[in-house]
Amino acid sequence: MLHHDAVGPRHGRAAVSAVLRPHEGRPQRLLVVVAHPRDAELALAGSVARWVAEGSLARLVCCTSGDGRAADAGADPLELAATREREQREAAALVGYGSLTFLHRPEGALANDLALREQLVREIRSFRPDAIATHDPRVIVSDDGYVNHVDHRECGAAAVDAAAPAAANAMAFPSLVRSEGLKPHVVSRLYLFWSERPRVAVDISDQLETKQRAIAAHASQAPRTAGETVEPFALIELRS
C-alpha cells in the first residue's frame, strides 16, 4: 500500500542535489503545524531537536490524529486516534517539544476554513512564535508524480493564513482579544517543508539518531528511516 507520506522526504533527497544555503540561524520560538501524526518527525525532527538543544522553544500542533488511515477498512477510528496520539506524544518528547496540541480534525477532511484558522491564531497568539514551520501549501502534484495529500495542503494554507495577516490583526477573531486576552502578534518567518522550492538546509548529522528514534515511536505506521543528514526548507521572511 502506498502511504501518503511515503514520498514526502523525496523532496528532501531531490533538494540535496540542488544548491541550498546552509542554515545556521534558528528561531527563538518555533510553532510547528502539521496535518498528521509523524509528519513533523519525517519533515523536521532533526532541525527541531538541534534548535531546542541550542536554546529554542518549540511547540507542536497536529491538526488530525491519524484516525483515517489503516490497511483495514473496518479499523476503529477512535482506537487509531488514541494510538497515534500516544505515539505522537512519545515522539514529541524525544524531539524536545515543550508542548503538543491536537486539534482533533478528521483525517482526510482537513479544510482551511475560518474555524481552523481561529484555532491556529489562538495557538500563535498564545505562544507568540517568531517562526512557524508547516507544509508548503503550494505543492499539489510534484514533477516526480507525488500527489501531495490534501490535508497537507490545507494545513499549510491554514497555518500561513493564520500567521499573516490574521494573527497580527486585532479584528480577525476579535473574541480571542476580548474574551481570552490574546493580543495580536507578528510572525517574522516561515519554514515550509516538503517544498518544491527549498532555499536552505539544516545540518542534522548530530540529530539523525534522535530523528530515527522519534520516527520509530510511530509504531502503528509503516516503518520509515530518517533519511538524509540535512533537512531542506523554503525559508521565507514575512513583510511586516
Distance CA 164, CA 168 (A): 7
Closest approach, Cβ 84 to Zn ion, in A, equals: 11
Give the three cell numbers for residue 138.
503550494
Secondary structure percentages of the chain, helix, strand, coil, to 5: 40, 20, 45
The residue number whose beta carbon is nearest to Zn ion equals 36
Closest approach, Cβ 39 to Zn ion, in A, equals: 4
3-state SS, 157-205, equals: HHHHHHHCCHHHCCCCCHHHHHCCCCCCCCCCEEEEECCCCCCEEEECH
Q: Measured from the CB atom, is 39 or 161 closer to Zn ion? A: 39
Distance CA 4, CA 18 (A): 24
Q: Measured from the CB atom, is 39 or 41 closer to Zn ion? A: 39
Distance CA 85, CA 87 (A): 5
Closest approach, Cβ 150 to Zn ion, in A, equals: 10
Closest approach, Cβ 177 to Zn ion, in A, equals: 32
Q: Measured from the CB atom, is 97 or 173 closer to Zn ion? A: 97
Distance CA 212, CA 227 (A): 9
Is residue 67 within 8 Å of 78, Cβ to Cβ? yes
Give the three cell numbers for residue 168.
497580527
Closest approach, Cβ 69 to Zn ion, in A, equals: 9
Q: Measured from the CB atom, is 117 or 224 closer to Zn ion? A: 224
Q: Could you give the 3-state DSSP secondary structure of residue 59?
A: strand
Q: Measured from the CB atom, is 85 or 164 closer to Zn ion? A: 85
8-state DSSP, 238: P
| Measured CA angle at 226 (ends 221, 227), to 5 deg | 125
CA-based nearest residue to 202, from 168, 240, 228:
228
Closest approach, Cβ 36 to Zn ion, in A, equals: 4
Closest approach, Cβ 35 to Zn ion, in A, equals: 5
Q: Measured from the CB atom, is 167 or 234 closer to Zn ion? A: 234
User: Residue numbers of the site for Zn ion (CB under 5 A)?
Assistant: 5, 35-36, 39
Q: Measured from the CB atom, is 27 or 37 closer to Zn ion? A: 37
